[in-house]
Amino acid sequence: MSDSTTTPPSTQKPVYAPGHAASHITNHTWRTASNSTPYLLPHLHSLSTSNPHLHFLDVGAGPGTLTASIAAHLPSTATIVATDISPSVLSRASAHFTSKGLSNATTRVASVYDLASTFGEQSFDVVHTHQVLVHLTSPLSALQSILSVCKSGGTLALREADLRMQSIHPSTPALTAFFPILLKYHASTGGSASMGTELVSLAMAAGVPRGNITATMGTWCIAAREDREAWGWAIAARCREGPMRGKAVEEGWAREEEMDGMARAWDEWVEAEDGVWGLMNGEVIIRKP
């Protein structure tokens, strides 16, 4: 588990390594409460009953589509805030909230490493983040910041992929060659491929007692035609151009023609009626002491 313990959180520079290219935004907009937060929904329903005016923060919300989907499970009297480091992507979130009629949802630009300077300490009843810590060079600093804006007795919900736990069918030589490159590229940007299984350890390192942490594992199953299109074509685009392709060729992980072959393999996988891609995600619910 990579982390920096010498630099104060407020001086950490937030960087979303994958960037906000169209292929990544496509993957973000695919996420819904049902496919990405099923572990959280029972807690939200219970909390909403006891506190219909709860304050909910979504950290690393991107285009806001997952936030809006979660909002459907919260009362209209709740206060919902989506935050990200990118003003441009948050403008998309604001537009999406408007299109969904979410008058109780707003956006704020903020650093995951210093949320308290934007929102104040102990400001939210529920804080949620999804596929954020997996990309960070200092996930412990980020989690400490996330904890700081959650009220005592409040709920934190974290869901992060374990990129080592993936399986795809039909498995072709080109697709088999792709996944090690994905892991190498992820490591080169400072992320942790095993973050999904490190969440309990990370929370304990942040000072949360083990008894306040509930851990589960959740899956993504990408099999329906529309899901294969959303993911397969986006991955193919990254194989054809962009930083992952550039890094792979530069480091000698693959030749140009091999990256082209991987792109074609993803296109073919989209067309395969029996195509299935599975991925494991670690999930934790934390009750803040």
How confident is the model over 201-215, as pLDDT tens digits? 999 999 999 999 999
Is pLDDT above 80 for 6?
no
Is pLDDT above 80 for 12?
no
**For 214-232, what is each residue's pLDDT tens digit?**
999 999 999 999 999 999 9
Where b means 16+ CB within 10 Å and e means fewer, 52-81 reads eebbbbbbbbbbbbbbbbbbebbeeebbbb
Task: Tell me the C-alpha distance between 175 and 196, whole Å.
Answer: 23
pLDDT of residue 185: 98
Kindly state the average pLDDT of the residues 87-114: 96
Helix (H) or strand (E) holding 84, with range, is: strand 79-84
Q: What is the DSSP letter of 274?
A: T
Q: Is 173 helix (H, G, I), strand (E, B) or coil?
A: helix
**Per the omega criterion (within 30 degrees of 0), is the bond before 18 cis?**
no
On the CB side of 152, CA atoms within 13 Å amount to 1
Q: Where are the alpha helices (DSSP H) in 64-110?
A: 65-71, 87-99
Cα 105-108-112 angle, rounded to 5 deg: 120
Task: Tell me the C-alpha distance between 217 and 197, whole Å.
Answer: 9
Taking a C-beta distance cutoff of 8 angstroms, is the pair 221, 276 a contact? yes
Task: Tell me the C-alpha distance between 32 and 29, whole Å.
Answer: 8
Q: What percent of the chain is predicted at pLDDT more than 90?
A: 89
With CA atoms as reference, report the closest residue to 154 among 189, 130, 121, 183.
121
**Of 22-31, 84-93, 129-138, 181-190, which range is least confident?**
22-31
Is pLDDT above 90 for 142?
yes
Task: Tell me the C-alpha distance between 11 and 232, whole Å.
Answer: 37
Task: Tell me the C-alpha distance between 105 and 15, whole Å.
Answer: 24
On the CB side of 92, CA atoms within 13 Å amount to 17
**For 16-65, what is each residue's pLDDT tens digit?**
455 545 545 556 678 999 999 999 999 999 999 999 999 999 999 999 99
Domains present along the chain, CATH in parentheses: 9-164+191-223+280-287 (3.40.50.150)
Task: Tell me the C-alpha distance between 211 and 199, whole Å.
Answer: 14
Q: Tell me the DSSP string of 228-270.
A: HHHHHHHHHHHHHSSHHHHHHHHHTSS-HHHHHHHHHHHHHHH
Backbone angles phi, psi at 40, to 5 degrees: -90, -30
Q: Is 91 helix (H, G, I), strand (E, B) or coil?
A: helix
